[in-house]
Amino acid sequence: MTAAAPAIAIRGLRKSYGDLTAVAGVDLEIEHGEVFSLLGPNGAGKTTLVEILEGYRDRTAGEAMVLGVDPAHPTRDWRGKLGIVLQTTGQFESLSVEETIVHFAGFYPAPMNVDHVIGLVGLEGKRKDRWDHLSGGQKRRLDLALGLVGDPDLIFLDEPTTGFDPGARRQAWDVVRELTSLGKTVVLTTHYLDEAEALADRVAVIVGGKIIEVSTPRELGGRARAVAHVTFAATDALAGVALPVLRGEVRADDGRFVITTDYPTAVVAALTAWAATHGITEIPALAVTRPSLEDTYLRMIADREADSTQLRGAPGAAKKANGASR
């Protein structure tokens, strides 16, 4: 393996179960040190794809290299470099947090310090507690600890923060950021778009077993260039004052003005000039918004949903539905 080889490289990856195509030809490269997020609705093939890369499931066709090894032929050495947090919570009945982590640490040649891992996931106060007495979020943090304890180079996190309270989620995000700062590669499957936005360098949207876009969270779905909304409140101070000519479509909506525009900067400039000439010192509740990652993602999914339904039966059928679904 050369230093330039990506952490994960897959080409034409397919997985079928009889007539059902779970992964329908995926090409992807994930660089070392990258946090890469897989987004997609349930049943889109995310978990199957990840399981193939983890060396758990065989692929039907295509090529895959993970840390320089074909995951269809996993070696112990290679497994030692992976850290895995499965979607399902582990069951460690009657074992304490510490016992469980120490046990798993023993599987690896150079594990992390157990105290350090316990601190990292914030279970210091629970180390002697039995698994049975942990809350759902604490059990999940133990799963995270077990994924980290081997000091892996590449970490697969499958919906790691499901069931976390907001504070615990932020803490888990900090853990992922710390991993990145250590140069580790993270593949994050999640349903939380804010999580992907906060952590991921790049995201891939998977629908019907196909990657429909790979991009940065900022640019996904043309988001950075998407139409913007300039809004402000229609208060009494503005009553009787005519709006200036604006580059966009203006409408009054529920006590506020909404200007849909491709040129938000020009609109705001026109508005501020207009406010100054009318002696309005502050335009109430002035804001420029663009679609959130979630808005963009949901639109992309809605666009492709019809395709993916057909894709499962016959991959060739995908094309003809394209564009018709809007």
Partner 1 sequence: MSIEKTVVRGGLAGAEAAPRVPFPGLLRLTYSRTVIELKQFFRQPESAVFTFALPILLLLLFGTIFSDTITGPPGVKAVNFRQYFLAGMIASGVMSACFNNLAISISLEQSEGMLKLLALTPLPPAAYFGGKLMSCLVISVIETVLMLILGVGLFGVSLPVDLMHWAVFLGVLVAGVATCTLLGIAYTRFIPNSRSATPMVMPVYLILQFISGVFFQFTQVPTALQWVASIFPLRWMALGLRYAFLPDWFKSQETGQSWNLPIVFAVLAIWLVVGLIISLRTFRWGRTRNA
Nearest-approach distance from CB 175 to partner 1, in angstroms: 19
163 binds partner 1 (CB under 8 A): no
Span interacting with partner 1, options 35-43, 53-61, 274-282, 285-293, rule CB under 8 A? 53-61
Among 42, 128, 166, 183, binds partner 1 (CB under 8 A): 183
Span interacting with partner 1, options 69-77, 117-125, 210-218, 224-232, rule CB under 8 A? 69-77
3-class secondary-structure state, position 127: coil
| Residue 91: how many other CB atoms lie within 10 Å | 9
Cα 5 versus chain centre, distance: 23
3-class secondary-structure state, position 37: strand
133 binds partner 1 (CB under 8 A): no
Q: Closer to partner 1 at the Cβ: 121 or 259?
A: 121
DSSP state string for 289-304: E---HHHHHHHHHHHH
Among 185, 190, 261, 296, binds partner 1 (CB under 8 A): 185
91 binds partner 1 (CB under 8 A): yes
Nearest-approach distance from CB 40 to partner 1, in angstroms: 18
Ramachandran class of 211: left when φ > 0, alpha when ψ lies in -120 to 50, beta otherwise:
beta
Q: Tokens 């990258």 belong to which residue?
A: 34
Residue 106 identity (one-letter amino acid):
G
**DSSP code of 261?**
E
β-strand partners of 260: 229, 249
Among 9, 62, 79, 247, binds partner 1 (CB under 8 A): 79
Cα 117 versus chain centre, distance: 24
181 binds partner 1 (CB under 8 A): no
Among 43, 62, 74, 315, binds partner 1 (CB under 8 A): 74
Question: E strands along 67-189, which residues?
Answer: 82-85, 154-158, 185-189
Q: How far apart are CA 279 and CA 240, in angstroms?
A: 13
Ramachandran class of 208: left when φ > 0, alpha when ψ lies in -120 to 50, beta otherwise:
left
Longest dimension (CA), the chain: 76
Among 94, 181, 254, 281, binds partner 1 (CB under 8 A): 94
Q: How far apart are CA 306 and CA 88, in angstroms?
A: 29
Question: 42, 159 in Cβ contact below 8 A?
Answer: no
93 binds partner 1 (CB under 8 A): yes
Q: State the binding string over 98-117 for partner 1 (x if CB under 8 A, else -).
A: -x---xx-xxxxx-------
Q: Closer to partner 1 at the Cβ: 5 or 227?
A: 5
Among 9, 29, 57, 139, binds partner 1 (CB under 8 A): 57
Among 9, 14, 25, 32, binds partner 1 (CB under 8 A): 32
86 binds partner 1 (CB under 8 A): yes
296 binds partner 1 (CB under 8 A): no
58 binds partner 1 (CB under 8 A): yes
Q: How far apart are CA 263 and CA 271, in angstroms?
A: 12
**Binding footprint of partner 1 on the chain (CB under 8 A):** 1-3, 7, 17, 32-33, 54-58, 67-68, 74, 76-77, 79-82, 84, 86, 88, 90-91, 93-95, 99, 103-104, 106-110, 146, 150, 153, 183-185
